[in-house]
Amino acid sequence: MTNDTIRKEFPFLHRMYTTRNDLELTQRGRTSFMKKPLAYLDNASTTQKPQAVIDAIVDAYTNHYANIHRGVYDLSVEATDLYEGVRAKVAKFIGAKSEKEVIFTKNTTESINLLSYCQGRTLQSGDEILLTQMEHHSNIVPWQMLNERVKTKSIYSSSGTEGRIEKSFDPELKTEEFSTSSNNKKVKIKYIPIDNEGRLDLSTLDKLVTKRTRIVSITLMSNVLGTINPIKEIVSRVRSLGSKAIIIVDAAQAVGHMKIDVSDLGCDFLAFSAHKMYGPSGVGVLWGRRELLEQMPPFMGGGDMILSVDFEKTIFNDLPWKFEAGTPSIADVIAFGEAISFIEKIGSENIRKHETGLTRYAWNLLKADPVVKLYGPEPRRGPSSSRGAVIAFNVDPSASHSTLRDKPSGSDSKSSGQVPIHPHDVASILSDEGVAIRSGHHCAQPLMSVLGIDPPATPEQAQDLRWRTGAACRVSFGVYNTKEDVDRLIEGIEKVKKVFKFTKRSGSSRQSSNNILRAREASREVPI
């Protein structure tokens, strides 16, 4: 499938936007201009939907809708078959041994929360959870909340000492409010640090993994840095250290962008969302090893998760329904099957190749601009590149020698030179150009702090705080993105520099466009 054919399947590209540039041209007397589709570069947040997925939702509600696992009438059986068919499809898609290992949730966040409740129940005071510095809030907060639920009896045990707060890393500092009652903090959360390039520093594993490590939960791909973590290597290192910890993989960012095979990864659980892989929102997946899922107590109680109920007790249902209480998002799950078909039709390898090419193209153009500060590992050639299609950056003149135009009215030296443009301002201006990017902390505030984007504030820093954006811009690619989308991003950043009056005198603007032209020439031969 060519990129053009793929783009035709996405109706969001039919909606045309009038860009600010075009409006300005109109005001200057030009009457006709090209309207453009949105350059949607926020795929790490959620992807757009192909027509087949949208049609499948309509079809499910129109022709096949009834509650599942309930009725004996044909329509209910039909809906159940379609729903369960997608479970089998998901199992095959991720290389699971059995569809009984596939549990439908609401999203990745619910999948991880489920684990923090059901696996977390077995944790005791003094146990340890190992995360990484690059986790999304959804793989940090549930574990911090778990602390509130861990059995307290051992806190007041023979040693007589209360559970202590073990501050192993800044996130602890950042959650002061949450942990006000934290003198009874019991579970220790540790974080694998990242190196300067934004990769995990695995040399720390020997020290971080201990006898008390009960859960290791790691993202397969960072939603900020784009780093793809070597899960297989981490699993084997953790195991070779003799640890029996449960190993959880957050695959939210990876799924739909690269091939995922749970039998190859070697992890115990894997969580992801349908909406980040061209499927409907409201559907998530938790895959787990059967024996572990069988040992785990249910998450929520209610209908469909029971075998029998009397007034005193309940016998829980078998896998996977034990973890699916209540009526699920039936039509969305059914349509999720179409999203998987869509990905399989293109092929995970082809998607990866396309996105790797775009990432390298964008990275090189952004890098050629002296006022753009990039985060994360440099993309390498070939499919072995351990980097996904996510690029975080800031428009920050302090990253280079370029300057802002000196203001006549007594600007101080700081304000005349080294002022980073806040990502929200960048994103607003890009939005006027029909380019959608994400700006903010990307639900990874602890990582922002490690990257030096949002360091913990001290009173002494207060004077300088205004120049800390506390956030980053992020672009992320999907199957429908093109080099033209990237070119429009680069043009948009030029517009940002114009709006914020980057000096022409210093040559930074011209110099950077020359650099960008050179980079664009250089990458012309790169096939996408």
Partner 1 sequence: MDIYREEILEHWRSPQNFGKLEDADFVIDQINPLCGDQVTFYFKIKKGKISKISFTGKGCAISIASASILSEAILNKPVSALAKIAGRDVLKMIGGPVGPARLKCAFLSLEAIRKIGSSRLKLEQ
- Residues annotated catalytic, as ranges: 443
In which region does residue 150 sit, left (phi positive, over 0), alpha (psi from -120 to 50) or beta (all else)?
beta
- Which of 341, 351, 352 is closest to 89 using CA atoms? 341
| Cα atoms in the 13 Å half-sphere on the side-chain side of 446 | 26
Q: Does 455 bind partner 1 (CB under 8 A)?
A: no
User: Looking at 270-278, 337-345, 494-502, 515-523, which segment touches partner 1 (CB under 8 A)?
Assistant: 494-502
State in angstroms the smallest separation of the CB of 245 from partner 1.
32
- Indicate if the alpha-carbon torsion angle 213, 214, 220, 225 is positive or negative: negative
Contact between 410 and partner 1 (CB under 8 A)?
yes
Residue 82: name the closest of 59, 111, 103, 102 by CA.
Answer: 59
Residue of the chain from 36, 422, 474, 483 that contacts partner 1 (CB under 8 A): 422
- Rounded CA-CA distance 252/273 in Å is 6
User: Binding string, 345-384, against partner 1, x = CB under 8 A?
Assistant: ----------------------------------------
Please report, for residues 115, 135, 145, 166, 179, the alpha-carbon distance to residue 123 in angstroms, rounded to integers and kept in the order given: 12, 21, 13, 16, 18
513 near partner 1, rule: CB under 8 A? no
Q: How far is the CB of 423 from partner 1 (least distance, A)?
A: 8
- Asked, as a colleague might, if the bond just before 297 is cis with ω within 30 of 0, I would say no
Under the binding rule (CB under 8 A), the answer on residue 471 touching partner 1 is: yes
Nearest-angstrom CA–CA distance, 200 and 375? 14
Q: Using the rule CB under 8 A, which residue among 41, 68, 221, 421 binds partner 1?
A: 421
Asked if 462 interacts with partner 1 (CB under 8 A), we say: yes
Work out which of 428, 507, 510, 517 binds partner 1, going by CB under 8 A: 428
Decide if residue 440 touches partner 1 (CB under 8 A).
yes
Assess 17 for contact with partner 1 (CB under 8 A): no
Euclidean distance between CA atoms 118 and 295, whole angstroms:
10
Note whether 433 binds partner 1 by CB under 8 A: no
According to the binding rule CB under 8 A, does residue 76 interact with partner 1? no
When asked if residue 448 is in the footprint of partner 1 (CB under 8 A), the reply is yes
When asked if residue 412 is in the footprint of partner 1 (CB under 8 A), the reply is yes
User: Is 2 a binder of partner 1 (CB under 8 A)?
Assistant: no
Q: Which span (60-68, 228-236, 304-312, 405-413) binds partner 1, by CB under 8 A?
A: 405-413
Least separation in angstroms between residue 34's CB and partner 1 is 21
Among 467, 487, 503, 511, binds partner 1 (CB under 8 A): 467
Q: What is the spatial distance between Cα 369 and Cα 209, in angstroms, rounded to a whole number? A: 41
- Does 441 sit near partner 1 (CB under 8 A)? yes
In angstroms, what is the minimal distance from the CB of 306 to partner 1? Answer: 39
Tell me which residues in 175-214 interact with partner 1 (CB under 8 A): none
Separation of alpha carbons 316 and 63, rounded Å: 32
Q: Whose Cβ is closer to partner 1: residue 472's or residue 475's?
A: 472
Q: Least Å distance between CB 144 and partner 1? A: 16
**Residue 266, number of CB atoms within 10 A of its CB:** 17
- Kindly state the tokens that stand for 360: 């390298």
- Binding-site size for partner 1 (CB under 8 A) equals 38
Question: Residue 439: enclosing H or E segment and its boundaries?
Answer: strand 438-440
Is 468 among the residues that bind partner 1 (CB under 8 A)? yes
The Cα 7–Cα 16 span in angstroms is: 14
- Minimum CB separation from partner 1 for residue 411, in Å? 5
Count other C-beta atoms under 10 Å from residue 276's C-beta: 27
Q: Exposed e or buried b for every residue in 227-265, given b needs 16+ CB within 10 A?
A: bbbbbeebbeebeeeebebbbbbbbbbbbbbbbbebeeb
Query: Residue 423, interface with partner 1 (CB under 8 A)?
Result: yes
Choose the stretch contacting partner 1; rule: CB under 8 A; options: 150-158, 365-373, 435-443, 511-519: 435-443
Cα 108 to Cα 203: distance, rounded to the nearest angstrom: 29
Shortest reach from residue 471's CB to partner 1, in Å? 5
The residue among 57, 67, 113 whose CA lies nearest residue 326 is: 67
- Using CB under 8 A as the binding rule, whether residue 238 contacts partner 1 is answered as no
Selected from 350, 431, 513, 515, the binder of partner 1 by CB under 8 A is: 431
C-beta of 401 vs 466, nearer to partner 1: 466
* φ, ψ (nearest 5 deg) of residue 315: -100, 125
415 part of the interface to partner 1, by CB under 8 A? yes
Choose the stretch contacting partner 1; rule: CB under 8 A; options: 51-59, 235-243, 496-504, 514-522.
496-504
Q: Which is nearer to partner 1, 140 or 334 (CB)?
A: 140
Which H/E stretch holds residue 265?
helix 262-265
Please state the φ and ψ torsions of residue 44, each to the nearest 5 degrees.
-70, -25
Applying CB under 8 A, among 67, 124, 341, 411 the residue interacting with partner 1 is: 411
Name the burial class of residue 313, with classes exposed (0-12), middle (13-18) and buried (19+) by CB atoms within 10 angstroms of its CB.
exposed
Q: Which candidate, 277, 199, 217, 198, places its Cα nearest to that of 472?
A: 198
Of 75-83, 221-229, 284-292, 453-461, the window that binds partner 1 (rule: CB under 8 A) is 453-461
Q: Phi and psi (nearest 5°) for 431? A: -60, -40
Name the strand (E) or helix (H) holding 499: helix 483-499
Among 144, 364, 445, 509, binds partner 1 (CB under 8 A): 445
424 binds partner 1 (CB under 8 A): yes
Residues that bind partner 1 (CB under 8 A): 404, 407, 409-412, 415-416, 419, 421-425, 428-429, 431-432, 439-441, 445, 448, 454, 457, 459, 462-463, 465-471, 499-501
